[in-house]
Amino acid sequence: MQSLRQCASRQAMLVGKQNARLAPHRSPIVLARVPSAKAGEAKAAPADAVALNELMEVAILAAEKGAEVVREALDRPRSISFKGATDLVTETDKASEDAVLAVLRKHYPRHALLGEEGGVSGDTDSSYLWCVDPLDGTTNFAHSYPAFAVSVGVVRGVTPVAGCVVEFTGGPHAWATRTFAAHTGRPTTCNGKPVRVSQVSDVRRSLLVTGFGYEHDEAWAANMELFKEFTDVCQGVRRLGAAAVDLCHLSMGVVDGYWEYRLKPWDMAAGIVIAQEAGATITTMDGRPFSVFERSMLASNTLLHQQIMDKTDPKTRGLLAANVDLSPWFVPPGYDTSRR
Ligand code: IPD
Ligand code: CA
Ligand code: CA
């Protein structure tokens, strides 16, 4: 098994290759897609393709296993350690990841796995990369503050194709969960019922959400400025503290747009396919096609995408002009990002 540090240190090599593939082009706004499972579609599925529905069902099984671990820990004292100055990890993060990965390994012993806590394992020659955040919103969990979640997504090439997020809602004495699931070509569901993004078309009537990573760098500072700018023009900007949950909230129309710098593949994989299949548009913050390895993400109800990008694009270009590194990251060594 490879640690994330090793994985990150191999990025320079892979990033050059990937930059060429992801060279800036400004239109159209699209998320790279894999062939869907719809009947009658002209393109044949790739020979190694696993049925999308099966991938989603396994994502649900795995996320529910992780959620069981989290559920059992809710009323117990937290065992917390620090990964960075403000970056927490609990024993529950690790136990949840073990539970999730056991399910994935049982069903797909030859797929590649990327877990937040344990790094890369499995076969990186595989066409499929599972991205697992065993507890998204760890700081919230540590304080018993909603919201947090278990997030399990599977990516082909750079594109999430199926995923499940189990969100913990409520709070002490009133915890509950709801389960979001999707795969490409199938409408997103929450607890089995279809959900859809909002119809808000004017940013002045929108409720937006963003997030701030643990590294307080130039991108973090730029986003503080964006936070101010959007707070000035919309009905509110929330900072909930769990990226997977933010994307699920977009999918069900309780927020209208979400952006963040420096999310990792495990923060986004499941939430992206969940939001996309509910009608969201997803790009980088400067409008390039989304990849799960990108370091900026803008997701909206589609109607607001350009209005939000009118602010995030110049800010992101400013960072690039100042040589801030926004190139793809956390690509497992050997993993082929060009698969469709
Ligand atoms: C964090 C949360 C947070 C986001 C950070 C993530 P973690 O994940 O998703 O909302 O702003 O960028 O790192 O550490 O709680 O799994
Ligand atoms: Ca996370
Ligand atoms: Ca986490």
| pLDDT for position 15 | 32
User: Is 116 one of the annotated binding-site residues?
Assistant: yes
Measured distance CA(71)–CA(174) in Å, rounded: 12
Choosing from 97, 267, 285, 330 the residue with most ligand 1 atoms within 8 A of its CB, the one to mutate for a pocket test is 267
Whole-number Å distance between alpha carbons of 46 and 268: 24
In this predicted structure, what is the pLDDT of residue 43?
60
Per-residue model confidence (pLDDT) at position 115 = 98
97 lines ligand 1 (CB under 6 A): no
Q: How confident is the model at residue 41 (pLDDT cuts 50, 70, 90)?
A: very low
pLDDT tens per residue, range 115-132? 999 999 999 999 999 999
For ligand 1, atom 2, the nearest C-alpha belongs to 242
Query: Which of these ranges, 25-34, 118-127, 299-308, 311-320, has the smallest mean pLDDT?
Result: 25-34
Average pLDDT on 287-310 reads 98
Dihedral (CA of 246, 248, 250, 253) sign: negative
Give the long-range contacts of residues 46-54, CB within 8 A, separation 24 or more: 46/127, 46/339, 46/340, 48/127, 49/127, 50/108, 50/128, 52/161, 52/162, 52/183, 52/184, 52/185, 52/186, 53/183, 53/186
pLDDT of residue 123: 95
Is pLDDT at 23 greater than 70 in this prediction? no
Q: Which residue has the tokens 């509950």?
A: 176
* Residue 32: pLDDT over 80: no
CA 15 to ligand 1 center in whole angstroms:
23
- Domains for the chain: give ranges and CATH numbers: 52-184 (3.30.540.10)
Res. 319: pLDDT tops 80 = yes
What's the mean pLDDT in 224-234? Answer: 98
pTM of the model: 0.88
In the prediction, which pLDDT does 84 show?
78
| Position 172 confidence tier, pLDDT thresholds 50, 70, 90 | very high
* Of 22 and 115, more confident: 115
| Cβ contact 293:328 at 8 Å | yes
Q: Is the pLDDT of residue 29 over 70?
A: no
Residue 24 has pLDDT above 60, yes or no: no
pLDDT tens-digit map of 45-93: 777 777 999 999 999 999 999 999 999 999 888 877 888 777 778 899 9
Q: What percent of the chain has pLDDT over 70?
A: 86
Which of 212, 263, 296, 329 gets mutated to test ligand 1 (max ligand atoms within 8 A of its CB)? 263
With a pLDDT cut of 90, the percent of the chain lying above it is: 79
Centroid of ligand 2 to alpha carbon of 237 (angstroms): 19
34-38, 145-149, 221-225: least confidently modelled range = 34-38
Q: What is the pLDDT of residues 247-271, one digit of tens each?
A: 999 999 999 999 999 999 999 999 9
Q: Which atom of ligand 1 is nearest to the CA of 137?
A: 15
Query: So what's the pLDDT on residue 40?
Result: 41
